[in-house]
Structure 1
């Protein structure tokens, strides 16, 4: 009989270990249940790794279909190794399925179950959520299914993306109420303009300008300003120039000014009208002259779709 240690120590692509696990599972033994739960945990970890790989830009010189294949094989083995140490999912599965197995043993046969239940019950979903992200469940009165989707979606995002979204989400939602532009579109643009917050425009004393959207200080701007070097494209040729940008007291002020700019400036009327999808929004901004970079729309569309797809 295969043991849990055998299952997690074997190669992820070893078909013989999987077949052995199938045969052992037919005996309904506790050891087989534990091994199956750990294999499921390994599959879950591999799915998370795959999602993170897909969300990471790939611009390497040596990227090819062959490297993708070997990367996938490596991720499968990483998932197997991580599951051998455990992230808590296997224990939850074992606890829930053991209860179902005991109930099936007492079944008189009238309900047609005939063995361990194969579906994830609502109790199991709750257990999974509480073991993996208890605060996410208690923070909102959403249904278990909706909370589960949120946990999976959150876990699939790179840490810097999730931190950026957590920090600015409320401000983006306030701007959405003012403009009708989806918050995730604006988060994507703020990420592009600020380099995920790592390339913020700084004042002369090094303090943060909080200018998330690279908005310049035109003649009608009455607030604080800051001079910064930027790249402008003149006839398609990049040129480094010193420009005057707006400075704000907070990120909330930056989002409010951005919402006011798009709502009250006639040149951006079509941007709001075309904000039904990420590509339409991005191309609308470029046509309106928001940026001179000829690849601006493509870059913005890619960031939104890769990191803020839902």
Structure 2
């Protein structure tokens, strides 16, 4: 395991006036070590403010109060905060250090974003490619649903009918109404008009663009996609999961929600809350995603209500 060697140039005592000069020397010889040391110092300052606030909120006893007591207590609190920060603190130093490193080298931000994209590999979007002609709108909801997509709701009753039974069987396991699952599937597939198909043109029943990761043991569909890496378009062949039915697809989707999007569970009829929980964990990038999701869910709800009353 990689261990970090303590930086000897950072003062071990809060009152050491030579600390700033030592830190400047460290920055010249090892910028990364200096970033770590500065992050610890910032965390120490934040912890000092926290301790001071706690002191101020605590009861004071006049017979124990004096300028000397205040001075020594303040020095003690500073030293305690510094020592705690050097021993790991409360977890702020790591975040501060990453921000400093990004300021020193902005290219690191793209590296971190690529790493996050790999972690979200199950949900990689399809954005084009000749073999993906029938699935060009896959994941459109994550980048921005168009008004045309929303207008398709009027003619989407056939899609709702096909997926409704599967949604009704899975929705209770997530604590949500079926119309939320139907809305999500409608957004991802353009109301079923642009599904992921195999080489023979068969439907993969993959309603949510879930990729075939290494642990997937089922059938797959290979699709040529266009993805952008550092702003450059690249053609790739990606494998997506293929299912025998919508019921199987939605059951797998429910597993994904439980693994990755736990905050979306138990939302009932709350389409906005469900969509915001998905977006908060990276399922969508469109700032209007939640509102569009809710709009589609309302339309589906009206369709279902109309069908029930007829």
Q: Give the TM-score normalised by structure 1.
A: 0.43
Q: Give the TM-score normalised by structure 2.
A: 0.43
